Amino acid sequence: MKILAIHNFHRKGSASGDDQVFKSETALLEEHGHDVIRYTVTNDEFDKSGFIGKVAATFGMMWSFNNYKRVKRLVESERPDIVHIHTFFPLLSPAVLYAAQRAGAKVVATLHDTRFICPCATSLRGTELCNQCGDGNYFRMCKYGCFKGSRLQSLIVACIFTYHRIRKSFYKQIDCYICLNENQIQLLKNIGFDEKKIVKKYNFVPDVDVNLENAATTELPERYVVFYGRIGEEKGIRILMQIWNEIHDIPLVVMGGGPLEEEIQNWAEKKENVFYLGYTQHDMCLGIVKRAEFVVFPSIWYEGCSMVEIETESLGKGIIATDLGFSQEAIENGANGFKVPLGSVEGFKKTIRELWVNQEQIHSLGENARLDYERKYLPEDNYQQLLEIYSFLVKETENAAS
């Protein structure tokens, strides 16, 4: 089978989940003998542009003529069985959906976030959950400066999504939506998406053999708890800091980079029991997680299928996470981890303290987490699910042609 895989990468060095999924899924398909053509752009291209280039790219968010032409030409020349689109915003634009459809391809889109409900993709207004723009009244974004805190940028994004709402771009130009959890599915159904086009497929992570010797570091205590991932508002970084402002006797190791890294580094330097390692090379990071007692993940937004959570399970570690989005169905309290109400510093603090002194339960959570990973998130199982999705659409095409 020939697949054209399309993705808008984040900036260089980003460990964003959708970037990881694109790389691992396309590699998995190739390992199984499929012909994968990659068409990608990166947000670094925007950063390197001059003033005129940045203005052109901003208007191109509504309709990128260059990417439209290139994708349409690519589909017409290569004749892929499937066009699989991951992230198209900001540089690719929804134009690539039209290009694929008009060239006669079946289009699959993986929804890594809530972009079709919230143009900001986070379903957050500040630090509060918000899905109001699901009704199509995107201009309320201007009042709150939802997009990067800017009313002007919010106006531009509101215009883009209003245009595509009127054209029903996200409703008509996609043949199959791959959702990552039940919450996403419900959000789409609530605003009129065809549930017959919706399927659920979790992400996966490879089953890696972590070399713990390479992860050894004399700087860390013998026992510790870990947070790792993007150091951003949506990951609950400020909640994490509030929790450890009240916990002085349990060591915390934090790994990752992002917009709040300077803030958390300054905070960590004042805490004897907090160790901020910044961006940590992946194998080293996994080794440090493997040595931890458990992982804490106080995210405040709808995680799609958190790579942190399934990676944690692959390492045989329990997790304490916010009862929201993917975690709602991924975590069974007392089995493979614990769920805490959104933003509950007291709830996290209590759960962390109780688990920290219960070595038997820490071990039990880790064993169950590993079993859960083996049941749900292995690469081979994921490949079979993906192949079923593709095969169904190809068969539809064949039936329509006959």
Q: What is the pLDDT of residues 255-264, one digit of tens each?
A: 999 999 999 9
**How many domains in the chain?**
2
Neighbours of 393 (CB within 10 A): 18
Shared domain for 122 and 68, answered yes or no, is yes
Give the Cβ contact number of residue 304 at 10 Å.
23
Cα 217 from Cα 223, distance rounded (Å) = 12
pLDDT band at 182 (very low <50, low <70, confident <90, very high): very high
- The C-alpha R_g of the chain, in whole angstroms, comes to 22
pLDDT tens profile 90-114: 999 999 999 999 999 999 999 999 9
Instruction: Please tell me whether residues 28 and 166 are part of one structural domain.
Output: yes
Whether residue 198 is found in the same domain as residue 235? no
**pLDDT tens figures, 273-317:** 999 999 999 889 999 999 999 999 999 999 999 999 999 999 999
Q: Are residues 79 and 152 in the same domain?
A: yes
Structure tokens of 158? Answer: 């509101």
- Burial label, 199 (beta-carbon count in 10 A; 0-12, 13-18, 19+): middle
Both 21 and 159 in one domain: the answer is yes
Strands in 198-200's sheet, in edge-to-edge order, are 35-42, 2-9, 82-85, 106-110, 176-179, 198-200
- Do residue 220 and residue 266 come from a single domain? yes
* pLDDT of the residue at 44: 85
How far, in Å, CA of 316 to CA of 184, rounded? Answer: 27
pLDDT confidence of residue 167: 97
- Asked whether residue 369 falls in the same domain as residue 316, the answer is yes
280 token code pair: 């940590």
Angle between helix 307-314 and 17-31 (nearest 10): 60
Alpha-carbon span 74 to 90, nearest angstrom:
20
Same domain, 116 and 93: yes
Reply yes or no on whether the pLDDT at 215 is more than 60: no
The number of beta carbons lying within 10 Å of the beta carbon of residue 12 is: 9
**H helices of 95-231, where?**
95-102, 140-144, 151-166, 169-172, 182-190
Q: What is the mean pLDDT of residues 137-155?
A: 93
User: Are 266 and 279 in a shared domain?
Assistant: yes
Same domain, 178 and 324: no
Domain that holds residue 263: 212-376
pLDDT band at 158 (very low <50, low <70, confident <90, very high): very high
Q: Are 363 and 394 within one domain?
A: no
Q: What is the CATH number of the domain that holds 275?
A: 3.40.50.2000
3 state SS for 276-339: EEECCCHHHHHHHHHHCCCEEECCCCCCCCCHHHHHHHHCCCCEEEECCCHHHHHCCECCCEEE
233 and 346 part of one domain: yes
Phi, psi of 380 (to 5 degrees): -65, -40
